[in-house]
Structures are given as structure tokens and as C-alpha cells.
Structure 1
Amino acid sequence: MERTNTLEALLAQGRAEDDALGAPGRPGLTYGALRELTARVREQLNAWGLGQGDRVALVLPNGPEMASAFLAVASAATTAPLNPAYRADELAFYLDDLQARALVVLEGAEGPAREVARARSLPLIELTPTSGGPAGHFSLRSEPPLAGTARRPGAPREEDVALVLHTSGTTARPKLVPLTHANLTASARNIGTRLGLGAGDACLNIMPLFHIHGLVAAVLSSLGAGGRVVCTPGFNALRFFAWFEEVRPTWYTAVPTMHQALLERARRNTRSLDGHRLRFIRSSSASLPPQVMEELERVFGVPVIESYGMTEAAHQMASNPLPPSPRYSGSVGLAAGPEVAIMDGEGALLPSGELGEVVIRGPNVMSGYVNNPEANARAFTHGWFRTGDQGTLDAQGYLRLTGRLKELINRGGEKVSPLEVDTVLLDHPAVLQAVTFALPHPKLGEDVAAAVVLREGQAATERELRDFVAARVADFKVPRRVVLLTELPKGPTGKVQRIGLAERLGLTS
């Protein structure tokens, strides 16, 4: 019946009069008002027959109302945020798989979510932002009016599931990850501790709030430290520096492709960087190229803290420390919450320096996928969760990743790390972005290919780039194809997805 490790307890850390949530151009919502809103929403959902364990899907645009709705609904039931860009067939799959009891949508917003819900007689709950009110304040109404008796009304316990998210499902049916209040609060506090967050900090959130990175690293870690999180409509490199000047954040967190896009804009927005309050920049959800880290630190003049996270761990697993502790380009840092180890294929833990699969265990790690015993049997060994990432731990405990095991390229028996080839390509002065991936080959099984975006005003040929790599790595690692693009294909969270890239670029025929 423990209630100290719940999102409700996390929100209790902030002073009632301090702002908790904000948005560009709008007044902030205080901790006191956010706690009142959360209590009112719980009472309302309970009166509509929704309580702990009932899954309520959220299809809402990015912004402060999405953040406050997540917090408020999670105080009464289980939240299931979905990407508002999903099409009807995708929403139908996810809502059916979730066995959602209700769907929260924005008042007046038409789209496939409403259509899919109506086709399933799924109760719709409309969220209306408070006109002229503080960022994140809203009211709810049901359509048609709901009434009932919640099976488990009242405040959550730490073992109650607060959030369910699907895995990306790039190579298989997406799996459903249940994260308890205890999982989420442990991760939020781990992040806050590693980053030294406090009441004076303000995070500018540009990450989507249907994804674990934005929800935990930006929103929950800020609120758990009594700080403020300012929620934008989503990533927009053209608007970022205007938000940056207005909000004057002490930090922001993003994926590497976003950092790269911001660096391109920074040259035209040098005035925005004058007198900024940034303490650090955080990067997670994909490997940060060393060249990008170095340029970010030079342009913004603050340390870049690379972290390592995944949905099944309620986001953070490892993180580089703040100065004066050392941080290393190419390393995702030290264990930052859960225990981290390296395991071989037979389930034995390996000594420092040995290459193997990264495994984790700890209070922020999920207990298992929902209704998927086969996946759980593969994912857990001797109580350790197998991340699917390959890497090494050095004698000081710093973790270095060589790539996803599923993304390693097997070229006729020779294993190639795509990250290694990416790093070499990014050393070329004309290259802005690079992603290396497997290209099907009739004899070798797989060969090496790369997609490259050149810097504005720069030129390079495929042959020149191949020769550049060939002078620096073994021949079997050199891309046999280099495709020049104006933009890399990205997933909904801004990450580049290597698996299936050859097919998406039409290189498999």
C-alpha cells in the first residue's frame, strides 16, 4: 500500500506558489494548481467508472495540456499516450491491443481518433484547455455522458501501472510495456540526481510527449525536482531560438538529429545565445556522434551530457556525469539508476573490457511485457533484462555502445558496427549527417551502405566519401553504396531507423 513512490508524491515536491508547467507566450501553471487539477480529474474519472488498472488512451497534441493530462489521468488510471499523427488503421491496432476503456481527445479536433473510437463504441472524453488560463489547465467532459462505479477508485499505489507504451516494433509486432508509479518515479529521481536538478531549473521541452524520453526526462524529472518544464508544440528548428530567448531555460534534452538541426540554425541565431542561462544540454535515445557533441559544446558553451535510455527501463539507464567529473565523447556514461552489466550469449556476466550484450536490473526496470511470455523469456536472464544493445564497460564503469545487436551488419561473417562507420563519415568536412545500414547481398547476406546529408554549400561524391572511409577502416567496413539525400528518413520521435532503411530507400531490388 506504499504511496511515496507515486507520481502524486513526486508532484508534492514543488512549492505551491512555484510554476510547474509552462508554454511559450502563456502564463505558467503552479504546483498548487496542478495538484488541485490532478485531484479533480481523479474524482471525475472515478465518477465515470474509471479507476486504477483501467487503460485510458490519450491522443493529444504536444504541449502543456498533454503533460498535465498525462499526470492527472495517471493519478486515477493507467495512461496510454498515442502519437496523434497515427492513421486510422494504426490507431485501431493500438486501441484494440490496449483494450482501452476510454479515449481522451482535444475538443473540436476532428480526425481518425474520433472515427476509430466511434466505430468501437469507445467512450470519448474531450479535453478543453482553459481559455485565457495558465498553460496546462483544462476541463474534461464525456461524450456521451459517462457514469459508473470504478473498480479501484482513489489514489494510486506504487505497484499500480501508471503508463503503458508500445515498443517501436521495427522488426516484429510491437510489445506492450507496463511502467508502474515506482518505475517512473525511480527513473525521474535518477535523472534529477545525475543532472543536479532543483527548483531554479527550467527545461525547454521539444520532445514528443507520447514517448518515454519527453515524458520522463523532461517532464517528470523536472517536476520531481521542484523545477519548471516549458512545453512547446514539438520540435521546430525554425522556432527554437525564439522560444529559447523567451523561456531562458537552464537545460533542454533532445535526440541527436534535433541537436544537429539546431547547430545548423545556431549560426543565424548567435544573438539568442548571448547571456543565456543554460547549465547543460542533454542528449539521449540514440548515439550522439562525437563531432556533434564537440560542436554543441563549442557553440552553446556548456557541457553536453549524453545519456542512455529505453522504454523498458522507464527511460534512463546510464548517463555521463556533470563536470567536474569526467565525461567521454563516445560513451553513454556510468550506471545512473539501475545496475548495468555485460552478458555473453549463454547468460554469464563478463569482466570489464569484454564485448557483449548490455543488461540491466533495478527499480526503474519493468517487470515484463504484457501478456507476452515468449518475449519475456527471451528478454530476462537470471533477473537481468537484456537490452538488445552491444557494448563494453571499462574499468571505471563507463559504458560504450557499439550498436543494436539487430542492427549490426553481418557481411559474409564479418560483423560491422554501423556506429563506427557513421563516426568516420562525420569526420568528412562536407558531411552533416550519416547513417550506416545493412544492404541485402546475394552472396554475402548483407553488405554495408550509408545514407549521407551534406552540409549546405558543400559537395562530395559517392566515390570521394567511399575513399575517405577506406583510408580509415578495414576494407570490409567500407560502404559499397553511399546515397546522398537532402534529409534522413526519421521515425516519429526524430530518431533515424536503420532497420528497413535499404527497403525505404528503394535499394533492395
Structure 2
Amino acid sequence: MWATLRFLLRFRYRVQLHGLEELRSVQGPILVLPNHPAYVDPPLVLSHLRFGRSLRPLVFADTFRSWIFYPFCKASHAFEVPNLKSHSRDAHRQTTEMIDRVVAGVEAGNDFLIYPSGRLKRQGTEVIGGARMAYELLTRCPNLQVILVRTEGMWGSRFGCAQTGGVPDLAGAARLALGSLLSSLLFFVPKRKVSLTAQAIDRSQLPLASKESLNRFLEAWYNANGGEEPTFVPYNPWFGPREFDFEAVQREGAVDADSIKPATKQAIAEMLAEHLGRPLDAAENIPTMTLDTLGLDSLERMDMALEMEREFGFRSNHVPTTVGEMWLLAEGRLASDENDEAKIPEIWSKPPKDDGAIPKALGETLAESFVLRAIERPDSAAVADQLSGVLTYRKLLTGATLLSKRIAKLEGDAIGILLPASVAADTVFLAIQLAGKLPVLLNWTTGDAGLRHAVEKLEVKKVLTSQRFLDRLGIEIPGADVVSLEEMRGGIGKWEQVSTYAATYLAPRSFLRNLPQPDRDAPAAVLFTSGSEALPKAVPLSHRNLIADINAGVNLIQFGQSDILFGFLPPFHSFGLTAAFLMPVLTGIRVVHYPDPTDARGLARVIRSYGATLMFATPTFLQYIFGVSTPEDLQTLRTVMVGAEKCPDALHDRFEAALPSAVLLEGYGITECSPVVSGSRPTDSRRGTIGKPLDCVEMLIVHAETHQPIDDGETGLLLVRGESIFSGYLKHDGPQPFVEVAGASWYNTGDLVMKDPDGFFHFRGRMKRFLKIGGEMVSLPALEEPLAKAFPIGDEGPRIAVEGIELDGGRQIVLFTCEEISLRDANALIREAGMQGIMRLDEVRVVQQIPVLGTGKTDYRTLRSWVSEMPASAEQKSA
């Protein structure tokens, strides 16, 4: 095999060998340590470095599984190792286990070829940095003999990083190389000159006092001839490019230090100093400084990436390799490898026939509505995401049916779902419906304590999730067993898949006959309140509730059959479940998902790629999208509805300037109301209002204390009733939120609103966000509004928030802000808005970030705890 490979490589490479003769006398288990300028140097080294030993190369999983290298890896008994560009706790564990397995292999007499840097080099010199693999093997295996190999002449190859500024597309480079060979008639391919130098190193010469000293020794040996300049060798003797501008690649990939906030640079410098045990000097705190040069190995870089996700709330599937990339990740601007645009099947661009009618759900229960829709248009696109691709209703029905048979056998009537917005979440939810069980949507942003509260409250025994997703979150679910979707799918046989899929053609109505028959008023799903003000309460929404809200919501937004809805809010968010999943799927509208609402670049990319026309969002998430997108990215949008918090005027202005042909609507919803209660219509809207009630909802404004109806123009407590309103909290020890007014039962929203003469409702705030001071009510939202206008939501989220508490004989009202503003100036803004007297702030606290819930709302519960736990300083109160 090696002779054949060496013969094939000679068509492109002219290899000179140095030092091969002295290797034949080396005894004992051998560790070959080459530098790594390009993907093609492993076959070059292994095919030319023949000295009577069989070397097992360590190969990353992505390369190992690639079609071009897989036969080579199998033939050479290559050792597959986890791909460390994708950070996770599982990858961390696998890496540690992998080192143990290599040590065991050495002890069994195997010889290995390992790249000390663990990655392709990014510059003309080889940098080992803080990589630990070579050091650990040499210190744990005292009988290992070392051979160093220096490959020169490959820097500038299309199989390396010089031409792209990053890791090249291996399959694409291989296809181009094959085309070059054929177009040059094999024998006329221009040759790249490559030098391979091998040297056996006596262990006594190796500085093994620390990994740093060993790595500096290896770097000095690899770079003994100085750093290489990239060399371009044409691929064809007759036509094609004759030179390549490598400097342009470097300029394009550079991080603009001036575009990074000083606070971000400072936070990253402090984080690096903590990991390194020393502060960074000025020469190191630059965007091009690589983390391995600083001495951080791959596992430490992974730990830092996970720490940054927790600290800053942003993530990328790509582990940062430079200080500049850390800056970008901290500001949510580092692209993820998962975000690469995939080819979208043609079926996605073929909407069903549009008869002009407003679509609606076809059944009385969720399961019946789904199956009827799947029978009506089996081969129309239903759902999509970048991982699962596009699924038709036929495929979605098949997948949900197959999973439902496994779910039916799981312990307990309530089944937990812990998944982001995705095709997988849609399929699992529908499968639970088909199995006749109750889906419980779990909010992972509440942490272990919140999840424990949820599973105990509902007696959830099994939670369905993706192992990959759970591993990235790094959380546990106390009190419940995790069931991996990957494992569940692996247990589905081919025959069962084929027969179920065939049934969608041969006997589609058989799926209706096998449906469970729940009462319309039985719970169809359980969500939890946001927890922004108290412990989350379990909210059961019935089939009647959800279908009423779906049909009225579609009529509100004026869905059309040709629309494409972008659903990225998580399914534990009531808007994420109803508006971004059930509403489109049950009414026949295509929906595309994205799992991470904080990855603004990914959100913008999906809108553009899939041609989304409709979107539900929170103002915070919409601001994230605008912060990184261009109007061209969002040009397909025609209607966007925001809710969960007041939409700032600045965001309205920005939307209208960027998308003049689209409409931005505000809606009002509550988890207990399925969730949409009211909203502006595309043809009947008014900025700053929450619109008018849905067709299925009645809204009544009453006096907050007497519950007597009040006149239009007055602010009072909002009560609602209708088919979409839930029946009461599950297993709740406190009072249920219903009041009797005028002989009817109404849900008490706890919100203060005002109705204007034209029938538009204006949201004034939560009752719980009012303080009673000296017999008068102080509205915290009212205090917050002028400050929010002065400091509108930025690309990183909210910049201010106001919270307060009542104290014995007084109060404490605090402005939390990411901006520098004095208490005097903040109160001046409030006075300019017409408020005075008790309508003032007592303190200003500057914070690095305003806490935000996973739903996108400001986390006032956390802010309230900060007010209670941190007494004001005298300086702050008197400022």
C-alpha cells in the first residue's frame, strides 16, 4: 500500500529525504513527532518514512471519517481521536480517555505518529504552545524512543491554512487536486518540492521538567531553518493562476481591535490572566496572539470557551484560538462552524397551492390536527433546520410515529422535553401527543434547581433530550432519568422505518384510527411561568386552549400558504411552543428553526438562506439580529411580531429604516393564555400599543382594588377570559388567579393597561412591579421608560433596568445600568418625562450586564435579589 501511495504522490510532490538511514537502529516502542503544515503531510511522512516499523497515526474524527482519508486511516490502523474544535464536556472526557488509550497502546508495543501541536499550523513557523499530548506520553512512558520529523515546502499548499486563513475544506481541496491531475494529463503536473528531515533524539536530550520546556525544544527543532514563506505552485502547466496573494488572506481574516469594546478586552485579559497565573503584557494582548503561544493547550482552551459561554451568554461551535477570536466570541460575533449555509432542497421553495383563505388547524386535538394536515399535504415541506434538513409532512409523521411507540413504553404519564427550537423538538412533542402522554417543556436556563422544581412538581420520570445538547449545557436533571434521542433512534429497525413510511402512502387514514382520544379540555402541554418574579408555576394548556389561540393568531397575523415562519424561540417559551411551532405546523405553514437565539449571526443567516417571511421575537433578540445583519439579510421578512417586553421606539425606527416594506407589530401574551392575548394587525396597528384582543379573547379593565370596570382612558387591572385561557395552575398551593366580575370568571393577568378611544390597549406594567409608598403607587416601569429611551436596547441586550423593594418606613429603587450615569442625571431624565416627588430613583449601580432570562425578558427576580442583598452606599444615595 505504501509503495502505491508513494507512487501516486510523486505526480505532485518531489520529496527529498534526510536522516532516514539512522532510524533503522532505533529500538523499543517509537513515538514519531512531525510538524504539521498541511493535511497531505501525514501520507507523505508515512509513505516515505519507511524503516521497518508500522506507525499508527493519531487522526481527528473529522479527518478520519472523510471519504478521502478513511481508506488510508483504516489501512494504517489509525487511532481516531475526538475533534477538539467542537467544545463540550464530553469532548474533554474523551480526550483524557484517549490519552490513556494511547499509553496502553504504547505499553502493548505499538508505535505511534502524533502531531505535538494537535492541529495544522496557522503561520510560517510551527507553534506547539501549551499542547500536552507529547509531554504526557513521554512522562508516562519512560521506554518511548523519539523520532522528530521536519516537513518543509508544504506551507502555501491548498491542503494547509495559508490559502484560506483557516482550516481548508478537505473534500473540496481533494476534488480540486484530482481535477488538476487529470487536466495536466498526470505526468505534466507542476511539482511541489518537499523536504523531510528525520532525527532520532536520545531521551536524555529532551527537557522533560515541564510541558512548556519540552514544547519550546520541539518548536526550536521544527523552526531551526527559520519560518517558511508561503509558496504557491501552479496546479496546471498551461492555464490557471500562476501566483497567489497570501497577504490578502491575512488582511481579510484580521480582527479589528478598534471595533472591540474596551470592557470586553479587559474582561478577556482578566480571564486569561486567571488561567495563566500571570497578567498579559502589552505585546500579548493583541488580536493575533494565539492561545497556544500563551501556553494554553486544547483542553484549557475548551474550558475557557465553556467559561465564556456561561459568562457572556454567546457560543460558537469553534473553539477560539487567538485573543482576537476570544474578543469576538465575548461580543457574540464569532461565527460557528455549524452555521455554514447548507444546500436547501428544492422542495422548500415550493409552497402548497394558495387559495387565498386564512389557514387553520383541522382537528379538535393537537394529534388529530397534525395527522389531518399530514394526510392533506403529505409531500409539502413542513419543518426544517440546519441539522435535520427539510422534512415533509410525510417524513414528520413517520418520525413522530416511530418515536411514539417507544415513548408509550416509558414510565410515567408526563414526559419531559429538554430541547432547543429544532426539528427534533417538533418531532418529539408530536410523538408524545401520538403516544397519549403529556409533554412537559423544561427550561434549562433555570439551572439544576429550576429543573428539579419542575420534574418534582409534575412527577416527571423521563426526560427526552439530545445527548449532544445536554453535554454542551453541562447540567443535570435531578429526580428524572435522561433518555437520549440518539439512543432511542438507534433502536428503530430498518423494516419498521420502511413499513411505517409505506403506510403513509398505502393507508394514511390508519394513523387517524390509532390516535389517542383525549378530552379537548385535558392538558395537552405543560409549560412554566418565566420565573422573572417568583418560582415558576406549572401551566397546563389544553387542546382547546392551544387550538383556539392558533386559529385566532393566524387570523391576527394574516398567514398565507406561501409564508415561511422563522422559529427560534425555545419550546419552553410559550411563544416558542405555540407561535413558532404548533401554529405553522398545524396550519400548513413552513417553519424553519434555529437552536440558539443568542447567535445573532446564525439567526440572520437562516432568515436569508431559507427566505423567512414571518417571525416572532422579543425586542432583545430582534436587536441582536439587527446588530450583526444587513438589510439584504432580512429582505424577505414581511411581518415581525415582538412581545414579552415593551418594544423601544429606537427599535421601531431602526426596523422601519432597514425594512420599509415590512411591518413590526407588538403583541401581548401570557403563558397562561396560550399565550397570545392581543396584538396589532398588519392593517390595523399603532406604535407603542399591544393592539386589540384576539377573536377568541375578551379583555376587561377594572379598578386594581375594587375590581369594578373603569372607563376608557383610565389605567387599571387587565382581566381576560376566553377559549385560550387556561383552567388553573397544576399542583399549586396558593390561590388560583381567577376573579368573579359581573357573574363571570376572569383570569387576573396582574398587568396594568389602558384602553384608548380607538380600542387599542396600552401596556403600563406589572402590578408586582409597583411599590406602595405612603399610600401612593410608584410604577417601576414608568421610572424605567425614559431611561430606556435614553439608553435603548443595544446589540448586546438591555442597557438599563429599574427594580425596587419596599422597606420598613421607606423604599429602595435602583437603576441598574451598563452605562456611566450619575444618580442626579438619571433622576433629571425622569423629571424631564414629567414625573416628580416620589417618582425618583434612590441609587444607581453600574453592572457589566443586565441579567436576561432564556425567554429574552429582563430577569427582574435576580435584580430584586440584588437590591435586597446589596445595601446602597452613602455615596450612591447622595450622588
Shared fold, TM over 0.5: yes
* CA deviation vs aligned residue, 1:55-88 (integer Å, no higher than 9, x gap): 1111224422012211221332110011234543
Q: Distance in 1 between matches of 2:650 and 2:477?
A: 45
Match of 2:484 among 119, 126, 138: 126
Q: Hey, what does 2:606 align to over in structure 1? A: 243
Q: Hey, what does 2:626 align to over in structure 1? A: 263
Paired residue secondary structure (2:768): coil
Q: Distance in 2 between matches of 1:423 and 1:110?
A: 38
More helix by share: 2
Shift, 1:47, TM fit: 4.7
Match of 1:498 among 856, 860, 867: 860
Structure 1, 244-253 or 122-131: larger mean CA deviation: 122-131
Q: Hey, what does 2:666 align to over in structure 1? A: 306
Structure 2, gaps ≥5 residues long: 1-361, 491-496, 499-513, 873-879
Match of 1:389 among 746, 751, 760: 751
TM-score, length of structure 1 as denominator length: 0.83
Q: Are positions 1:474 and 2:839 aligned together? A: no
Q: Hey, what does 2:686 align to over in structure 1? A: 328
* CA deviation vs aligned residue, 1:107-128 (integer Å, no higher than 9, x gap): 46666999656xx5x5543312
Shift, 1:291, TM fit: 2.8
Match of 1:293 among 641, 652, 655: 652
Q: Hey, what does 2:817 align to over in structure 1? A: 452
* CA deviation vs aligned residue, 1:175-226 (integer Å, no higher than 9, x gap): 2211111111111111111111122111112211122110111111212331
Q: Hey, what does 2:541 align to over in structure 1? A: 179
Paired residue secondary structure (1:272): coil
* CA deviation vs aligned residue, 1:379-424 (integer Å, no higher than 9, x gap): 3334100000011122332111110000123344442333333332
C-alpha contact (below 8 Å) 1:437/1:499 kept by paired residues: no
Opposite residue 803 of structure 2, the aligned amino acid is A
Q: Distance in 2 between matches of 1:281 and 1:340?
A: 24
Opposite residue 647 of structure 2, the aligned amino acid is L
Q: Hey, what does 2:804 align to over in structure 1? A: 439
Q: Hey, what does 2:677 align to over in structure 1? A: 317
C-alpha contact (below 8 Å) 1:422/1:436 kept by paired residues: yes
Q: Hey, what does 1:147 align to over in structure 2? A: none
**1:183-262 → structure 2 map (5 Å cutoff):** 183-235=545-597, 236-262=599-625
C-alpha contact (below 8 Å) 2:781/2:802 kept by paired residues: no
Q: Distance in 2 between matches of 1:261 and 1:483?
A: 24
Opposite residue 676 of structure 2, the aligned amino acid is Q
C-alpha contact (below 8 Å) 1:436/1:448 kept by paired residues: no
Opposite residue 186 of structure 1, the aligned amino acid is A
Q: Hey, what does 2:364 align to over in structure 1? A: 5
Taking CA–CA contacts closer than 8 Å with sequence separation of 6 or more, which of the two structures ends up with the larger relative contact order?
1
Shift, 1:240, TM fit: 2.1
Query: Residues 124 and 482 (structure 1 numbering): CA distance in 2 closer, same or farther, change over 3 Å?
Result: closer
Query: Residues 208 and 109 (structure 1 numbering): CA distance in 2 closer, same or farther, change over 3 Å?
Result: closer
C-alpha contact (below 8 Å) 1:205/1:214 kept by paired residues: yes
C-alpha contact (below 8 Å) 2:738/2:745 kept by paired residues: no
C-alpha contact (below 8 Å) 2:530/2:855 kept by paired residues: no
Query: Residues 43 and 429 (structure 1 numbering): CA distance in 2 closer, same or farther, change over 3 Å?
Result: closer
Q: Distance in 2 between matches of 1:350 and 1:33?
A: 53
Opposite residue 304 of structure 1, the aligned amino acid is L
Q: Whose Rg is larger?
A: 2
- RMSD of aligned C-alpha atoms? 3.0
**1:123-162 → structure 2 map (5 Å cutoff):** 124-128=482-486, 154-162=516-524
Q: Distance in 1 between matches of 2:793 and 2:538?
A: 38
Structure 1, 184-193 or 415-424: larger mean CA deviation: 415-424
The alignment covers a number of residue pairs equal to: 472
Q: Hey, what does 1:283 align to over in structure 2? A: 642
Q: Distance in 2 between matches of 1:430 and 1:285?
A: 16
C-alpha contact (below 8 Å) 1:201/1:222 kept by paired residues: no
Query: Residues 393 and 504 (structure 1 numbering): CA distance in 2 closer, same or farther, change over 3 Å?
Result: same
TM-score, length of structure 2 as denominator length: 0.50
- What is the percentage of aligned positions where both structures have the same residue? 22
Structure 1, gaps ≥5 residues long: 132-137, 140-151
Query: Residues 379 and 373 (structure 1 numbering): CA distance in 2 closer, same or farther, change over 3 Å?
Result: farther
**1:77-88 → structure 2 map (5 Å cutoff):** 77-88=437-448
Paired residue secondary structure (1:357): strand
C-alpha contact (below 8 Å) 1:24/1:246 kept by paired residues: no
Paired residue secondary structure (1:187): helix
More strand by share: 1
C-alpha contact (below 8 Å) 1:18/1:31 kept by paired residues: yes
Opposite residue 804 of structure 2, the aligned amino acid is L
Q: Are positions 1:45 and 2:403 aligned together? A: no
**1:281-430 → structure 2 map (5 Å cutoff):** 281-301=640-660, 302-323=662-683, 325=684, 327-336=685-694, 337-344=696-703, 345-372=705-732, 374-376=734-736, 378-381=737-740, 382-428=744-790
Q: Hey, what does 1:487 align to over in structure 2? A: 849
Q: Distance in 1 between matches of 2:595 and 2:529?
A: 23
C-alpha contact (below 8 Å) 1:22/1:29 kept by paired residues: yes
C-alpha contact (below 8 Å) 1:67/1:215 kept by paired residues: no
